[in-house]
Amino acid sequence: MASLTIRMLDERLKKKLRLRAARNGRSMEEEARQILAAGLRDEHAAATNLADAIAAIIDPIGGLELDLPFRSPMREPPRFDDSPEDAA
C-alpha cells in the first residue's frame, strides 16, 4: 500500500473531514480513502444522458412510484372546410 501526505490542508477542510468521519464511524484517514475512491470511481461512470443520470440516483433507493394525473380524452380538432355541418 502507498502512503500520501497532504500538506497545507485548510483547517476548515480538516474539520469537515473529521466531522464527516465521525458521522460515518471511521477514522479521518479511512474517510479520506473513501472520498478519494468514490471520487475516482465516479469519474469514469458519468451518465451518458439525463435518463441514466436520474436512474443512477433513483435505482439505489428502490425506485419511485408516481401517481399519474387523470387525462381526459382529446377533443376533436377544429375543422376549416366548408362542410354542411358548419353552416347553420
- Which amino acid belongs to residue 83? S
How many Å apart are CA 83 and CA 11, to the nearest integer? 81
Is residue 53 domain-resident? Answer: yes
Give dist(CA 18, CA 30) in Å, integer.
11
More confident position, 17 or 57: 17
Q: Residue 48's domain spans which residues?
A: 11-60
| C-alpha cell, 15 | 474539520
Number of domains in the chain: 1
Residue 38 counted as domain residue = yes
pTM of this prediction exceeds 0.75: no
pLDDT in tens, 27-60: 999 999 999 988 887 665 565 788 888 888 888 8
Residue owning grid cell 458519468 = 46
- The residue type at 27: S
Tell me, yes or no, whether 66 lies in a domain.
no
